[in-house]
Structure 1
Amino acid sequence: MELLLLASICLIAILYSSVGHGGASGYLAVLSLTIYATQDPIWLKQHVWSLNLIVASIAFFTYKSSGFFSWKLTIPFIVASIPAAMVGGYLKIDNGIYDTLLSITLIFASWKLLTTKKIDSEGVFVRPPTMQISIVIGIIIGLLSGIIGVGGGIFLSPIILLFGWSDAKTAAGVAAAFIWVNSASGMVGSSLSGELLLEFDFLLPLGVAVVIGGLVGSKIGSGVLSQKTVRILLSSVLIIAALKRILDLIGV
């Protein structure tokens, strides 16, 4: 396996885990720039979810052990997202539709990286969302996560911060737990469709890369680099990958 690919995956894990995310949209972006972009969507989703499970686990335990987590805020989102993510993972969609949805997701993730505030800002909880709102949000994000092959953190974190349901670091801890559950549910759903396409020879070196990246990123938090620099670099990768998908889709 190319060293550049492993280094890129490790870097994505560092950057995403520093904000409590698993890195799925980043892994998809990197793979979209390689020969693996031609793989079946189910193959891509299952391998990315596997990496997500590793990094989200590390990020969750790191943030939770530091006191940045809320079961009260997390559980309603998780309960609603589990069946929705399984359904999304079970669904088989046309490659063109998948490429379109993935491109939109990558562009959205890039936009949020450029517009979301630093995660190390401190804050306090305001009134949490009602159960009904949490359930609706969990279902929608869970379904999208299952279809696209992400954990949903890029959708949930901005929503939590936008409505002031928690401080930024707690939002990172909540997102990590949410991402893990959605990734596992999506994996189960796609497996129930009769296809488990994991290639462990391919997955093992990537797994080692994300373990290293996840440990480093979750420890350094906002990181040695400025958050502005990190967001610009990562956003550039996501935009390039999205444009590549779009150009391939229209046959350019």
Structure 2
Amino acid sequence: MIWLAGLFAFVAFVYASVGFGGGSTYTALLALWGVDYRLIPVIALLCNIIVVTGGSMRFIRAGLVSWPQVMPLLLVSAPLAFLGGLVPLKQWIFLTILGGALLASAIALLLQPEKLSARVLPKPLLLAISGGVGLLAGLSGIGGGIFMAPILHLIRWAEARRIAAFASLYILINSAAGLAGQVIKAGAQSLAAPAMEYGLLLAAVLVGGQIGSIFGMRYLSPRLLRTFTAILVGYAALRLLWQAQALS
């Protein structure tokens, strides 16, 4: 558990420094560690909330969140994240969804849409994507910022700092909504004792996330870390999809 906590702290540091929560990597590590699949989204969403809360507050105080711009996307994603958390899933279905989400996360990590020509995306389609990502967040424990940010960069939705601010807030809201659905589905009492066993992980992301959000990427290569994380997440995705195929 000490090794896993150390990895969680490092992941929180890396993701918090760029406004993300790290849900995709937490779920990958938990799956590789052999954690009960019913606990994976709960632990990952809790970690997301811990990591992005401080950053979201700082972004808001800095005036980087335009509420008229972000509210429509949040209003469609949060209810669907809650509903996603409520959905009971068989193990092979959960592993398939999680594996697919992680594989998409790995691809998103490798993309650099800010270097591409701007694309036009109709607002209804953007809202539909936000809702779909919210649903995925509640089902799998991935906050969704890692999917939305590349899309927003691609369409030049806002400057990079404002997109990072939105991603942080988006992850916070979706994670809270998805966690509420997960808790209602399983029952708070049934989750309390098992979740406490992984309390060290929550403490680890609290420390790593705070350091990352304050100091940012000063000494680490963002491209190298993004590539390494994509490889880890992609490997976990393929293993989960293989397991899901064996169970189906």
**Which interval holds the TM-score relative to the shorter structure?**
0.7 to 0.9
**Given residue 33 of structure 1, which amino acid in structure 2 is its aligned partner?**
L
**Match among 37, 40, 45 for residue 40 of structure 1:** 37
**Given residue 221 of structure 2, which amino acid in structure 1 is its aligned partner?**
S
Match of 1:246 in 2: 241
1:38-117 equivalence runs, <5 A: 39-41=36-38, 43-116=39-112
Match of 2:225 in 1: 230
Structure 1, residues 76-120: CA drift from partner, whole Å, max 9, x if none? 1111112111111100122112111111111111112122268xx
**Given residue 40 of structure 1, which amino acid in structure 2 is its aligned partner?**
Y
Shift of 1:40: 3.2
Match of 1:178 in 2: 170
**Given residue 63 of structure 1, which amino acid in structure 2 is its aligned partner?**
F
Match of 1:25 in 2: 24
| 8 A contact 1:128–1:165 mirrored in 2 | no
TM-score normalized by the length of structure 2 = 0.88
1:208 maps onto 2:203 in alignment: yes
Shift of 1:127: 9.8
**Distance in 2, Cα, partners of 1:74 & 1:17:** 20
Shift of 1:201: 2.7
1:219 maps onto 2:214 in alignment: yes
Aligned pair count reads 241
**Match among 161, 164, 168 for residue 153 of structure 2:** 161
Percent identical pairs in the alignment equals 29
**Distance in 2, Cα, partners of 1:90 & 1:102:** 16
| 8 A contact 1:25–1:106 mirrored in 2 | yes
Extract unaligned runs of 5+ from structure 1.
none
**Distance in 2, Cα, partners of 1:80 & 1:13:** 27
Shift of 1:10: 0.6
**Given residue 206 of structure 1, which amino acid in structure 2 is its aligned partner?**
L
In angstroms, what is the RMSD of aligned CA positions?
A: 2.4
> Structure 1 residues 114, 40: closer, same or farther in 2, change over 3 A?
closer
> Structure 1 residues 169, 188: closer, same or farther in 2, change over 3 A?
same
**Given residue 92 of structure 1, which amino acid in structure 2 is its aligned partner?**
P
Match of 1:187 in 2: 179
Does the residue aligned with 1:69 lie in a helix, a strand or coil? Answer: coil
**Given residue 57 of structure 2, which amino acid in structure 1 is its aligned partner?**
F
Shift of 1:133: 4.4
TM-score normalized by the length of structure 1 = 0.87
Structure 1, residues 25-51: CA drift from partner, whole Å, max 9, x if none? 110011111131xx133x211111111
Does the residue aligned with 2:172 lie in a helix, a strand or coil? Answer: helix
| 8 A contact 1:73–1:128 mirrored in 2 | no
**Given residue 61 of structure 1, which amino acid in structure 2 is its aligned partner?**
M
> Structure 1 residues 128, 223: closer, same or farther in 2, change over 3 A?
farther
Does the residue aligned with 2:219 lie in a helix, a strand or coil? Answer: coil
Bigger helix fraction:
2
Does the residue aligned with 1:19 lie in a helix, a strand or coil? Answer: coil
**Given residue 191 of structure 1, which amino acid in structure 2 is its aligned partner?**
V
